[in-house]
Amino acid sequence: MAQGQSTAPGAVDAGAAGQAFRPFAGLRVIDLTRVLAGPYCSYLLGLLGADVIKVEPPGKGETIRRRTGGDPALAEAGVSVAWSTQSGNKRCITLDLDRPRGQELFRELAAGADVVVQNLRTGSAEKRGIGYAQLSALNPKLVYCAITAYGGNGPRATHPAYDSVIQAVSGLMSLTGQPDGDPLKVGPPVIDYVTGMNAALAVVCALFERTQTGRGRFIDLAMLDSNFALMTSALTLFVNTGKQPSRPGNDAASRAPASTTYRVSDGQFAIAINEEHQYVHLFQSMGLAHLLDDPRFATLADRNRNIPALRVELQRVFETNTAAHWETVLNEAGAPGGRVNSLAEVTAHPQFAARRLFQQVSLQADGSGAQMQLPLAPFSVDGDRGSIRLAPRPVGADTDAVLGELGVGAAELAALRADGTI
């Protein structure tokens, strides 16, 4: 966001999250990824202390740097909100990996690294001499994570994809939407981010094993497989019974008879009532205790036979008051429920601020001093979610420094820049 605008609730300054938790301090990660999934993996490692070196093509870097939709000025400067979201704590260099010297320099970087994360199409790294077998021969301790759309084998191994395509191909869209409507995709790019999380977990597992064996590992991680993990219950049901779950609309996954969304006086309200004692709490707290003796709703079997009638009874009472009222009444009674929030509403809620999920950083790439709120780790350890110690960097800002660490002198740097290698 531009300088002078109010900051998002829940932002914290660097170091304010408590006692420092930096388990990956001293770890070097080479990030040869783009868009969201791979960059989020290395971003998580960087939040927790790793030295992440981001490798991009010379010139404008990866295209997401200039993706509009947030702050146009930041996009024009090459540090768009879409890119910056997972680009803190990364030293940024440029290398043309289609040139022999660029490939050679990448191999030199990998020889001194702990982790390489790449999301090139299957086979592309090997063609450039930077596949796992080629780099592991130089550095047997290397943990190498290859993120692709469909994985390293199978008939779709070389196919490209993005989040929305994976949602379609995986069957996730077939499970989303109203029962009598068309399939729908989930709004945010959830597959990208769960893939990044899975990649970070796999890297951490391989690093832990390395402490015992002294050797690295090759990680084959597919967006499709990560999406299947999100669909575990539905997919396990199908492979064991052949039953395709119907699209539930706003009904809870449990398909419990009361569990859906209702209109309240100022919006929509969701409840999830799965246990018998929760039905008791729900009916009593809503002034509907008499339904406990109603033969239509006395038992779970009765409620399942009379779902429309049950929901009419609940809707009649829900619409008499506000979401805030029902959140207090139901949750204090032990009946789970909550308002269907917009992003403005959820980020303004004290719970968001209490969890300290974002950190404010100053972007100095274009000299504007613009401020941006960036996400921290989705977990805390002794109150610490990691920190952003280095704001998102301009394209190639650290090329000279990083290659200088490899012994590349000023004269060669100038020559490499002149011929487009960096």
Catalytic residues: 192
Contact criterion met (CB below 8 Å) for 48 and 26: no
The answer to whether the CB of 197 falls within 8 A of the CB of 44 is yes
Q: Are 30 and 54 in contact (CB under 8 A)?
A: no
Q: Which of 184, 177, 166 is nearest to 222 (CA)?
A: 166
Cα–Cα distance for residue pair 311/298, rounded to 1 Å: 14
Please choose, from the candidates 213, 28, 26, the residue with its C-alpha nearest in 3D space to the C-alpha of residue 116: 28
CA dihedral 296, 297, 298, 301 (to 10 degrees): 90
Distance, CA of 185 to CA of 188 (rounded, Å) = 9
Rounded distance between C-alpha atoms, residue 326 and residue 323, angstroms: 5
Query: Residue type for 286, please?
Result: M
How far is it, in rounded angstroms, from Cα 91 to Cα 396? 8
CA 123 from chain center: how many Å? Answer: 25
Q: Residue 340: how many CB atoms within 10 A of its CB?
A: 14
Q: Tell me how long the chain is.
A: 422
Q: Which residues contact 217 (CB under 8 A, 6 or more apart)?
A: 143, 144, 206, 209, 210
Which residue stretches of 60-154 are H helix?
Answer: 72-76, 81-84, 100-111, 124-127, 132-138
Tokens read off for 170: 């995986």
Distance CA 262, CA 419 (A): 63
